[in-house]
Amino acid sequence: MFKSLEKKIIQASERQGPVPLMSFEALLRVVSFAYGAGAAFRNKWYESGRLHRKTLPCPVISIGNITAGGTGKTPMAVYLADLLIQMGKHPVVISRGYRGTFKKKAAIVGDGVRVFLTARQAGDEPYMMAALKRFPVVVGKDRYQAGCLALDRLPVDVVLLDDGFQHVRLKKDLDLVLMDYASPLGNGRFLPAGRLREPAIPALARADAVILTRCPENAVKNAHWVSIAAPDLPVFYTRHQPFLAGIDPAGSRKKIQHEPIEEIAKKKTALDRFQGVSVVLFSGIANNRAFYRTIRHLGANIVDHLEFTDHYQYQRADILHIQQRAMALNADMLVTTEKDRVRLETTIDWPMDLAVVGIRLSLDSESGFRRLVETVIQI
């Protein structure tokens, strides 16, 4: 029942235009008005100084959005952490640990060398970043407490907040807002009737920069709606670049290994293996359709796409259904996302190869973005 309700809400949040007066969608829109008003009221209280903001003794950079769903926050966090490391800094990524089971105030997922929590404990995205073993990752609903833990226990000097734009209780030195190029404001309505987390115009006025994600190759660089809300706000354009994160061979229980980014970069032809191959996709991410488009663009013959909700915890029955569906359609390969892979048991015997596709970001103006970051960390 809960899954059915969640599916109805997701479908309603993507719907445009008017709805029947006495309908489920109409009820959601009433709730969304209250949600938007509450978010606006809360932000004004913090801006007025009536509610105290906490401060960490180091630069704090937030990566967030004003809409619910996938805009590429995790790839951006990885990109920014790697950039800071190139600058000689020691960043830590702090995440809420959404859908993780860890109940304490804060916990270290990984210290950049070792991983201490599972994906189920930490949440899929924090675990996925910690598994890269390039920088520390900490989870905690209270970002200030998580930041204090990181600074006390780890050799770090910059805090990156993953999904931190609405976390106004913590003072930030740089607020980066990510927006999907094709659908920056969703259907323009607040949760749960839409995807907006707060009113867009005051949110953009509070931001330090906008990063448009999933930009096409021929993207028109004219974000006029940003310039109206905040004329001096810098706007950066990024692309999602898929890469082959690994393959679980058929019949193998070998755990997938995360390769260094420099090794991945050498394998420019690795994605060619999808060309003309019959594949069954399965994914449980915020934007399943974007994953479908990515694999189709790589030349694969997609015979089916089994879609699940974001952060979905796969059960044995789900795996059996995926396997049976792929075999019934005579697929050559199964394909999933890097985020989904960390939510799968490592003891699964796949009837065919399971390819795992990850995403990394590329910025059109890397030098300009680097200068923006440098002003905050004072290199």
Please list the pLDDT of the chain residue by residue as tens digits (379 residues). Answer: 445 545 555 555 566 666 656 666 766 777 777 777 777 777 776 666 666 789 999 999 999 999 887 788 999 999 999 999 999 999 999 998 877 777 677 999 999 999 999 999 999 999 999 999 999 999 998 999 999 999 999 999 999 999 999 988 899 999 999 999 888 888 888 888 888 888 888 888 889 999 999 888 776 666 666 766 677 889 999 999 999 998 888 975 555 454 454 454 444 457 888 999 999 999 999 889 999 999 999 999 999 999 999 989 999 999 999 999 999 999 999 999 999 999 998 788 999 999 999 999 999 889 999 999 999 887 5
Q: Whole-angstrom distance between the N-terminal and C-terminal Cα of the chain?
A: 54
Written as one letter, the residue type at 172 is: K
Geometric angle at alpha carbon 159, from 153 and 163, rounded to 5°: 120
d(C-alpha 76, C-alpha 81), whole Å: 8
Contact 170, 125 (CB under 8 A): no
- pLDDT given for residue 265 in this prediction: 45
Distances (CA, A) of 272 to 253, 269, 298: 25, 5, 7
Give all strands (DSSP E) within 181-321, no chain letters. Answer: 209-213, 235-248, 278-283, 301-307
- pLDDT given for residue 49 in this prediction: 63
d(C-alpha 126, C-alpha 96), whole Å: 9
Helix (H, G, I), strand (E, B) or coil at 314: coil
Q: Please give the order of strands across the beta sheet that includes 209-213.
A: 107-110, 137-139, 91-95, 158-162, 60-65, 174-180, 209-213, 235-248, 354-363, 333-337, 278-283, 301-307
263: tokens are: 């090794």
- pLDDT given for residue 220 in this prediction: 67
134: tokens are: 């390039």
Residue entry with tokens 């960490």: 56
d(C-alpha 182, C-alpha 185), whole Å: 9
Domains with residue ranges and CATH for the chain = 60-239+363-377 (3.40.50.300), 241-361 (3.40.50)
The string over 301-337, giving b where at least 16 C-beta atoms fall within 10 Å of a residue's C-beta and e elsewhere, is ebbebbebebbbebeeebbeebbebbeeeebbbbbbb
Contact 121, 23 (CB under 8 A): no
DSSP element (H, E) containing 373: helix 366-377
**Is the peptide bond between 192 and the residue preceding it cis, with omega within 30 degrees of 0?**
yes
